């Protein structure tokens, strides 16, 4: 098949069709897509259970991607031509109060995101505003770089946690985001780095990324850590994460559990003077931090990739992501 793209017509209905690149307009770049990751939210798009206003059909999905700039529009530096890049998904307005503060994921102009309301990267090319691009080193591994979008969300959490060298830090959750959290925290030279998960089979991987201790949540857990990043999104994860902290400790929540999860106890938060932060998406500074850490060799996404499939295998890839099989890590599509 020539250059192709995935189009989700409506929930449960998709086709793989010929792709025609869209020429970049002023301030835009056309990127040849190298690889695109599949996330739980792509599964929501396909199944039709993404919240109202957060998806627009028909749609080419794909918000975790890497590629190479092949063409640029007017007003774009020519030096970007041929560069390896990744890109932010949120299409912020740039003029509201929050955008001016650099908090682009809090843009008050409504929600627009690549792969959800705007054409995504499950296609041979992607055309998007150049301001969303982050250039990579020339020798960057583009397969690994396709995972930098989820990494950026974790970078936002790591920045909010403000872990200092020698502090005792912990991660709750052992999926892709949890493994990135371990790597970001490892990079600040913690005194201890505990990972709490549900399955022992993630211990070896956690330790390879820098964890000094691993426990499952049903084991006895400490209560004197300085910083905890929660990435699990299970009903009890936030409460487990808070229980690990010392008085005055810092908690960062990134998981989104289903309705009815165990809430944090406000009395406990106040009496123990805990500091609680939350993250949804990644603002530009978190993206820049991610690319910097990746370029420095402190972030290794490749061991998290278990499957690479062609675009035509889209439904199979979606199935793999939702099957809950411990052997399935990050699934990539290759246009």
pLDDT score, position 11: 96
Q: Quick one: residue 27, left, alpha or beta (phi over 0 = left, psi -120 to 50 = alpha)?
A: left
pLDDT score, position 1: 45
| pTM of the entire predicted model | 0.95
pLDDT score, position 2: 66
Determine contact, residues 96/157, Cβ cutoff 8 Å. Answer: no
Q: What 3-state DSSP class applies to 291?
A: helix
For the segment 211-234, what is each residue's pLDDT rounded down to a tens digit?
Answer: 999 999 999 999 999 999 999 999
Residue 99, pLDDT above cutoff 50: yes
pLDDT score, position 235: 95
Cis preceding-peptide flag for 58 (omega within 30 of 0): yes
Name the helix (H) or strand (E) containing 87: strand 84-87
For the segment 273-306, what is each residue's pLDDT rounded down to a tens digit?
Answer: 999 999 999 999 999 999 999 999 999 999 999 9
For the segment 70-91, what is each residue's pLDDT rounded down to a tens digit?
Answer: 999 999 999 999 999 999 999 9
d(CA 304, CA 273): 36
Residue 318, pLDDT above cutoff 90: yes
For the segment 150-199, what is each residue's pLDDT rounded down to a tens digit?
Answer: 999 999 999 999 999 999 999 999 999 999 999 999 999 999 999 999 99
Please name the residues in contact with 87: beta carbons below 8 A apart, sequence gap of 6 or more. Answer: 31, 65, 114, 126, 128, 132, 133, 134
pLDDT score, position 92: 93
Residue 323, pLDDT above cutoff 90: no
Share of the chain above pLDDT 70, in %: 99
pLDDT score, position 261: 93
For the segment 1-13, what is each residue's pLDDT rounded down to a tens digit?
Answer: 469 999 999 999 9
Helices and strands, number each (H, E), in the chain: 10, 15
d(CA 277, CA 55): 27
Q: Using the 8-state DSSP alphabet, how is residue 261 labeled?
A: P
Mean pLDDT of 300-313: 97
Residue 325, pLDDT above cutoff 90: no
pLDDT score, position 10: 97
Q: Could you give the C-alpha distances from 278 to 157, 178, 233, 255, in angstroms and in order?
A: 7, 15, 12, 9
What average pLDDT does the chain have? 96
Write the burial class of residue 212 (CB in 10 Å: 0-12 exposed, 13-18 middle, 19+ buried).
middle
Mean pLDDT of 320-331: 90
Token pair belonging to 194: 């505990």
**Angle at the Cα of 235 from the Cα atoms of 234 and 239, rounded to 5 degrees:** 100
pLDDT score, position 324: 82
């Amino acid at each position: 098949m020539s250059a192709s793209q995935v189009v989700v017509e409506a929930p449960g209905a998709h086709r793989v069709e010929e792709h025609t690149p869209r020429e970049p307009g002023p301030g835009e770049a056309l990127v040849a897509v190298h690889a695109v990751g599949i996330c739980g939210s792509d599964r929501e798009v396909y199944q039709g259970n993404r919240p109202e206003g957060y998806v627009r059909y028909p749609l080419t999905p794909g918000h975790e991607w890497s590629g190479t700039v092949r063409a640029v529009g007017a007003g774009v530096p020519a030096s970007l031509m041929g560069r390896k890049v990744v890109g932010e998904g949120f299409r912020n307005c740039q003029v509201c109060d929050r955008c001016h503060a650099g908090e682009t994921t809090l843009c008050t102009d409504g929600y627009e995101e690549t792969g959800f309301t705007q054409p995504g990267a499950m296609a041979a090319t992607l055309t998007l505003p150049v301001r969303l691009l982050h250039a990579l080193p020339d020798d960057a591994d583009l397969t690994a770089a396709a995972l930098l979008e989820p990494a950026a969300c974790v970078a936002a959490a790591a920045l909010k946690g403000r872990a200092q060298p020698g502090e005792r830090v912990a991660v709750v959750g052992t999926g892709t985001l949890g493994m990135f959290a371990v790597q970001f925290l490892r990079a600040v030279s913690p005194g201890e780095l505990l990972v709490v998960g549900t399955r022992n089979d993630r211990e070896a991987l956690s330790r390879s990324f820098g964890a000094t201790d691993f426990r499952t949540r049903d084991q006895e857990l400490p209560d004197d850590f300085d910083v905890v990043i929660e990435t699990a999104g299970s009903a009890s994860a936030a409460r487990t994460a808070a229980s690990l902290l010392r008085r005055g400790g810092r908690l960062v929540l990134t998981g989104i559990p289903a309705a009815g999860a165990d809430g944090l106890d406000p009395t406990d938060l106040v009496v123990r003077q805990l500091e609680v932060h939350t993250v949804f998406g990644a603002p530009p500074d978190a993206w820049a931090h991610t690319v910097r850490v990746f370029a420095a060799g402190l972030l290794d996404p490749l061991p998290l990739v278990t499957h690479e499939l062609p675009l035509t295998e889209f439904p199979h890839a979606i199935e793999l992501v939702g099957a809950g099989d411990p052997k399935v890590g990050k699934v990539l599509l290759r246009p």
